[in-house]
Structure 1
Amino acid sequence: MAEIVNKTALIVGSGPGISASVARALAGQGYRLALAARNPDKLRDLAAETGAATFEVDASSPAAVSQLFKDAQDAIGLPEVVLYNAAGRLRGPLEALDPETVRRVLEVSAYGGFLVAQQAAKRLVPLARGAILLTGATASVKGFANSAAFAIGKFGLRGLAQSAARELAPKGVHVAHFVIDGAVRSAERPDPATAPDSTLDPDAIAQTYLAVLAQPRSAWTWEVELRPYVEVF
């Protein structure tokens, strides 16, 4: 496995859903957590539940991401598991998209992932251990109509993951990308009564994140796809 000596984790792009479920799962394994979001106020309940430290961050700012890692290390120790879960979404016909808004979406979805992965690599490569986890989507591998900006960002994040995995795995750092191929269940978006288990349970998703962290290094995966059993792909 990607040896995790101190059981410390930083989740960037924290909120309800996948990141919250992963945070709870890691806390259940005894991890000390740092949670970062553009609006850390929304993390208050999760932080109280998991004992996490919380931080405000603009993931598209190199200076802010660098400072985040310094602050997180002061709070919990050097993060040996780093999860990037932030994404920018924008829908609309290609000819009508606002270029500045598209730029911002790409900064969050892909550039922010690069900044976080870079800061993590700087700290983990000298240790020859740890893991960098990146959350993707259906759009990581399939560009839908009226979703160009999201597809560009998620394709870019997947490319980062593939390149980083090839570069860092031989140095002892496990890089993994998770294609979340389907809608994620939430209180606001429950399964229809007529179609149980037709969305992804975030707690079930978190089990796979932890399973990947536990993989022996002789059989690491750089990517895993997750979808409900009824999802067409």
Structure 2
Amino acid sequence: MSIARETHASNRPKAVVIGVGPEQGLGAGLSRRFAAEGRHVVIAGRTEAKIERVRESIVEAGGSASTVVMDVTNEADVIRLFDVAMRADERGGSADLIAYNAGNNQPLDLRTMEADVFESFWRLNCFGGFLVGREAARRFVPLGRGSILFSGATGALRGLPNFAHFASSKAGLRMLAQSMAREFGPLGLHVAHVVIDGGIDGERVHTRFTEHVQQKGPDGLLDIDAIADAFWSLHRQHRSAWTHELDLRPFKEAF
């Protein structure tokens, strides 16, 4: 993907992607897409080596990016991230686009699940979204503008066997986004929740759920770049016709 260049970086708002992992993942794809639009992208994730590789790939393509190693469930880390993102500097102005992509998923038997395991899924899939959403609202409301986009999942709509921990946490994130949209939309903030209804054609699915990949066959998974296009389209919507919830799935996926 080619990267757009802009002469006056100080006039360019930053974009922040939270929950970036491997190069072949949605967080990386969102980072590349926003960089392709000329944004300086603040890439946030837990693993320094992974987010640094994503940054390098963007810079190699002619874009602008920096990294912040952080734990999205840690309040101090989230505040520190926004301090960086909202500070105008030679790389760009304050951020006006936040994508919350942090999350985890795996099937677990409820009967043998430890309490701290259930809590860990809630903290990453929902509580982290609260911390990011709250901080984004605090910073964006005085500006009267900004997009806060949350990556959702099928589990936010229906709970499947062995996924009670995941479904409850993603449903919580969905309700957080919905409440935020109603509270802050009239103040100029575009809050959207993207239901990703299917497997994403990235490293995680191919390494953890190989049988699922084989079962779905060609075009059975969501293309990362196509998802990223949808996120950018949401950000670019005119405020007279905002989408709050968008569901994405492969054409052959049953729903």
TM-score of the superposition, structure 2-length normalised?
A: 0.85
Structure 1 portions without partners, runs of 5+: none
Matched, 1:134 2:150: yes
The counterpart of 1:180, out of the listed 196, 218, 221, is 196
| Letter matched to residue 120 of structure 1 | A
User: In 2, Cα distance between the equivalents of 1:10 and 1:101?
Assistant: 28
Check 1:193–1:65 CA distance in 2 against 1; reply closer, same or farther (3 A cut): closer
Q: Which has the higher contact order (CA 8 A, sep 6+)?
A: 1
Unaligned runs of 5+ in 2: 1-10, 59-63
Alignment deviations for residues 143-169 of structure 1 (CA, whole Å, 9 cap, x no partner): 110011111110000000100011111
After superposing the two structures, state which structure 1 stretch, 181-190 or 170-179, moved more: 181-190
Classify the secondary structure of the residue corresponding to 2:86: helix
Decide which of 19, 44, 47 is 1:39's aligned counterpart.
47
* Separation of aligned partners in 2, 1:130 and 1:156: 22
Residues 1:223 and 2:245 are matched in the alignment: yes
Q: Is the 8 A contact 1:90 1:102 kept in 2?
A: no
Deviation at 1:114, TM superposition (A): 0.5
Partner residue of 2:27 out of 19, 24, 30: 19
Q: Which of 51, 54, 64 is matched with 2:77 structurally?
A: 64
Q: Return the match for 1:195 from 205, 211, 217.
A: 217
CA deviation vs aligned residue, 1:106-164 (integer Å, no higher than 9, x gap): 01110000000111111111001110000011111111100111111100000001000
- Asked if 2 retains the 8 angstrom alpha-carbon contact of 1:88 and 1:106, the reply is no
Contact 2:14 2:85 in 1 (8 A): no
RMSD: 1.8
Q: Distance between the aligned counterparts of 1:141 and 1:92, measured in 2?
A: 18
User: What is the letter of the counterpart of residue 31 of structure 1?
Assistant: R
Counterpart of 2:6 in structure 1 is none
Residue 111 (structure 1) aligned with residue 117 (structure 2): no
Aligned partner letter, 1:136 = G
TM-score normalised by L of structure 1? 0.92
Distance 2:110 2:53 in 1: 39
Task: Provide the C-alpha distance between the structure 1 equivalents of 2:128 and 2:253, rounded to a whole number of angstroms.
Answer: 29
Structure 1 residues 164 and 42, CA gap change in structure 2 (3 angstroms): same
Does the CA contact (< 8 Å) of 1:6 and 1:80 recur in 2?
no
Distance change (3 Å), C-alpha of 1:194 and 1:55: closer
Residue 49 of structure 1 and its aligned partner are, at CA, apart by 2.2
Cα distance in structure 2, aligned partners of 1:78 and 1:86:
22
Q: Which of 170, 191, 207 does residue 229 from structure 2 map onto?
A: 207
Q: Deviations over 1:82-129 (max 9, x none)?
A: 111001334222111110111111011100000001111111110011
Count of aligned positions: 229
- 1:93 paired residue among 106, 109, 114: 109
Farther off after superposition, 188-197 or 136-145? 188-197
Match of residue 146, structure 1, among 162, 186, 196: 162
Q: How far apart in 1 are the matches of 2:226 and 2:38? A: 19
Same amino acid, percent of matched pairs: 39
